[in-house]
A and B are shown apart, each in its own frame.
Chain A
Amino acid sequence: MSTLEIKDLHVSIETEQGVKAILKGVSLTINTGETHAIMGPNGSGKSTLAATIAGHPRYTVDSGSITLDGEDVLQMSVDQRARAGLFLAMQYPVEIPGVTMTNFLRTAKTAIDGEAPKLRTWTKDVKAAMAKLRIEPEFAERNVNEGFSGGEKKRHEILQLELLHPKFAILDETDSGLDVDALKIVSEGVNRSIETGGLGTVLITHYTRILRYIKPDFVHVFVDGAIAEQGGPELADRLEEEGYDRYQVAETASA
């Protein structure tokens, strides 16, 4: 079993108006095999937490710690974190012109494993993983995320999740912008990683509908840069009915 431990994390960013504190003391422990849902209003800092775990240079950790089986994650570069077994499925996956999916996936796999995958089995694995996620074979020759629809981008994030076998995955609103069919397909992909790979999962979402397909063990309510409440799956249902009012925040409309 592996453990990803976040302790009293304070994070800020530099803006034109000066330094802005976003995370104000987040503590969270995730073990492999567990699924944690994080829900919270817009702007509460969910993506900031995800990006900080992955090591995005824009975010400054002012205090607190992140460790993976006791190793200091904050000392690692972005790529070292990925190689240590952390995976971030992004809310807005980036387009990379001129780099084909095939080339990208092979390069990433080689980097993560420390050696090039065996060509024949690799090609087969990629094809099979694409088929399961209902991704047309043509996408292999397309440039990374270029011209992909929102839903196609999200499927490709899960494709990478399934091919790279991380220990922990943080899925930042992977469900948003998906229709019901796509949501099912993507959820099945995540569940495969949980069942066969013992993945530890952090599911950031605004909606309970994805939680019908991916069952969370824990639900955390994120408000103004900190966890305001935690509980079991039942907490998600209550949030859906009641909103975040009782945490005394007005949710902005743009979710």
Chain B
Amino acid sequence: MTELTEEKTTGEVWTQGFIKGMTEEGESLSEINPESGPLGGAAAKAHSHGGDSHGGGVGVPDSSRAGRLTSYKLADFPVITGREEEWRFTPLKRMRGLDRVGVKGQELNGPAPLVEVNKPDGVTVETVGREDSRIGSAGIPEDRVAAAAWENFAEATVVTLPAEFVGNSENVTTLTLTGQGEIPAASHIVVHAKKFATGVVVLDHRGTAVLSENVEILVEDGANLTVVSIQDWNDDAVHASAQHIKVGRDAKVKHVVINLGGNLLRTTPAARYSGTGAEVEMYGLYFADAGQHLEQRLFVDHSTKNCKSRVTYKGALQGENAHAVWIGDVLIRKQAEGTDTYEMNRNLILTKGARADSVPNLEIETGMIEGAGHASATGRFDDEQLFYLQARGIDEESARRLVVRGFLNEVIQQIKVPALEERLRETVERELEATAL
């Protein structure tokens, strides 16, 4: 059993001269106490683990991600105190009741977001009741908030890409999910790609909501599915979204989380493999402004042989009390020989007063793997990058914008849906105009 956890809490980056790590992939991490490190405060650390360097597993400790409780029943989960590992970064007071469902009469019965559908021929989108057999096919709640949503949703939306459906970046299925107000609500979505289907599904969240949501993403054998979940709510929104991904044999899924608007967003994607030879790519992009709490916690559970996962999350933060949290749990179980995984998180802090927490957590129970690695870095502008651009005549303000754009563009480039990429670039542009960097 090898466990590697690194925690980075970065509120003080602003006082540093510069952080080298922003340029050196997997090379550098800032430290909790940035004043004490070399390089005037930036420290470097990264891990990469070859298949030969780690011995076999010796059981799973309590703290292991594998040991976490899963249940469809709210009552199975103890009431949240805020001290739990998975809640310690979340400002519960701002959850507006989503965390207290079932306590002192707190209900979760507000109207679910309105669903508007835009889809190509062949793809079906249905509204179904709770008893529909497809519900529960890809996921099971792992925390009390998700369990509350599971118990309380009234109807589910099921998107189906039929077997061998040929989708591409032009014939995207989009569900526009418009929040219906401030009464705490539950919702449920199932995205189902049948055997050998390919395609792109976008979940576009907007409006005002206090919402707890489960999204099940079922990718059957040989399918190749992209799911993009955009959270661009109004400023007051609170949204907890548990996204359960299950990938079949030789299937591929690309999961993209875009967290932009809302007061508190907590997105928890979990990927599980039901067959061998599958590949999961997870991308995330977030832009936290003053007062926003954007939390993304992901889990990749390698339980089958010869599967691959790649995780890339990048975020920019600006303004007083902008807070981003990234937790990346990757578990390679004893039987998951031949696993190849790498996860990476980068945060760019643009102004004073913003804070990013970044915790990669890699548990390895077998030495028979292809590779496993992680990297995390949080920093502000790299002075050397700015100097280079300015030395080519570009003024400081434009140079900063170019660097931020480039930084986030690394994720946007990966979506490969031109219309969506365009929209996200414009959104980044708007965010950048909102502040003098």
Contacts and interface: CB of A to CB of B under 8 A. Distances in A.
B383 A57 contact: yes
B402 A107 contact: yes
A82 interface: yes
B393 A77 contact: no
A107 B407 contact: no
Given A97-B407, A98-B405, A111 B23 contact: no
Given A82-B393, A107-B402, A111-B395, A57 B387 contact: yes
A78 B383 contact: no
Contacts of A98: 405-410, 413
Given A99-B402, A99-B405, A107-B402, A94 B394 contact: no
| Chain B interface size, under 10 / 10 to 19 / 20 to 34 / 35 or more | 20 to 34
B396 interface: yes
Contact of A93 (B40, B388, B396): B388
A74 to B, nearest CB: 15
B398 A111 contact: yes
A26 interface: no
Contact of A79 (B40, B382, B395): B395
Nearest to A82: B393
Given A96-B406, A107-B402, A79 B396 contact: yes
Interface residues of A, number: 30
A96 B388 contact: yes
A95 interface: yes
Contacts of B408: 98
A79 B393 contact: yes
A137 B23 CA distance: 24
A72 to B, nearest CB: 18
Given A94-B23, A94-B384, A79 B390 contact: yes
A108 interface: yes
B287 to A, nearest CB: 14
**Chain B CB within 10 A, most for which of A87, A99, A104:** A99
B394 A108 contact: yes
B406 A77 contact: no
B15 to A, nearest CB: 15
Interface in A69-113: 77-79, 81-83, 87-88, 90, 93-99, 103-104, 107-108, 111-112
A88 B389 CA distance: 11
A111 B410 contact: no
Contact of A107 (B383, B387, B394, B413): B394
A78 B391 contact: yes
Nearest to A81: B391
A164 interface: yes
B430 interface: no
A143 interface: yes
Interface in B362-394: 382-385, 387-394
A83 B394 CA distance: 9
A78 B409 contact: no
A160 interface: yes
A55 B395 CA distance: 13
Contacts of A160: 392
Nearest to B399: A79
A88 B391 contact: yes
A17 to B, nearest CB: 13
Contacts of A81: 391
B20 to A, nearest CB: 11
Contacts of B385: 94-96
Given A111-B395, A160-B392, A78 B405 contact: no
A219 to B, nearest CB: 26
A123 B384 CA distance: 28
B290 interface: no
Given A79-B393, A111-B395, A164-B393, A94 B403 contact: no
Contacts of A93: 388
Given A99-B402, A107-B402, A78 B23 contact: no
A112 B406 CA distance: 21
B344 to A, nearest CB: 12
Contacts of A54: 387, 391
A73 to B, nearest CB: 13
A134 interface: no
Given A57-B383, A98-B406, A111 B394 contact: yes
Contacts of A209: none
Contact of B387 (A56, A95, A104): A56
Contact of B389 (A83, A96, A143): A96
Interface of B: 23, 40, 382-385, 387-396, 398-399, 402-403, 405-410, 413
User: 5 closest A-B pairs (Cβ-Cβ)?
Assistant: A98-B406, A99-B406, A111-B393, A78-B390, A98-B409
19 contacts: A77-B396, A78-B396, A79-B393, A79-B394, A81-B391, A82-B390, A87-B391, A90-B391, A93-B388, A96-B389, A97-B23, A97-B410, A98-B409, A98-B410, A98-B413, A104-B392, A111-B392, A111-B395, A160-B392
Given A54-B387, A87-B391, A90-B391, 20 more contacts: A16-B40, A54-B391, A55-B391, A93-B388, A94-B382, A95-B385, A96-B389, A97-B23, A97-B410, A98-B406, A98-B410, A99-B405, A99-B406, A103-B402, A104-B402, A107-B398, A107-B402, A108-B392, A111-B398, A143-B406
